[in-house]
Amino acid sequence: MLTLCAASTAVWADASHLEVLDDHGQALVSLPMPEGERWCMEWNHSVTGIRVQDCYRHHQGNMVLERSHQPDFAAGLGHVPGRGRQVSDGQGGYWIEDIDEPVPGNRYRLRVGSARVDHRLLHEGRRISLSELAAGERVTIHLRTPDSTP
């Protein structure tokens, strides 16, 4: 298991963690994730290879999808009217801002892509490649809070 800790009093005051769990419930990654903390899931689009990001925050005990970056209108990508607002990233792509959708149960399932897709977790300047840990496997991304169930 990869465990990364930050030396911060906020980390110790809030026992919340972002976990990546394998199909057997074993933690592959566990990151302290106190209230207000943000992280992104980044990957290369399986058809075009462009880099896509979904960014989340820990808000009042909930995993909330905050924004999404899409450098192109590739297959399966695009802004859905009424779900956030689309703004230019200044480089030909766009951000969908203000999505602010709680993720049901503070977790979602992901089939981790190959090295070409390279699903990676971004947090505090670090990139953790889930594809190196579990390519082709199903994992659960879970914000575990003191009040959540396993």
* For residue 6, pLDDT beyond 80: no
Share of the chain above pLDDT 70, in %: 82
Residue 7 is predicted with a pLDDT of 37
Tokens for 75? 């297959």
Distance (Å) of CA 96 to CA 45, 84, 123, 138: 17, 6, 19, 26
Residue 1 is predicted with a pLDDT of 52
Of the two residues 133 and 47, the one the predictor is more confident about is 133
User: If you average pLDDT over residues 76-105, what whole number do you get?
Assistant: 80
Per-residue pLDDT band for 78 (boundaries 50, 70, 90) equals low
* For residue 140, pLDDT beyond 90: yes
Residue 84 is predicted with a pLDDT of 80
For residue 101, give the amino acid letter. Answer: E
Return contacts of 54-58, CB within 8 angstroms, 24+ apart: 56/103, 56/143, 58/16, 58/18, 58/33, 58/34, 58/143, 58/145
Tokens for 98? 């203000």
Residue 12 is predicted with a pLDDT of 41
What is the tens place of the pLDDT at every residue in 14-72?
Answer: 689 999 999 999 999 999 999 999 999 999 987 777 889 999 999 999 999 999 988 76
Of the two residues 88 and 30, the one the predictor is more confident about is 30
| pTM value > 0.85 | no
**Lowest mean per-residue pLDDT among 54-63, 91-100, 110-119:** 91-100
96 vs 41: CA distance, rounded Å? 15
Which residues fall within 8 angstroms of residue 58, CB to CB, at 6 or more apart? 16, 18, 33, 34, 35, 36, 37, 38, 64, 143, 145
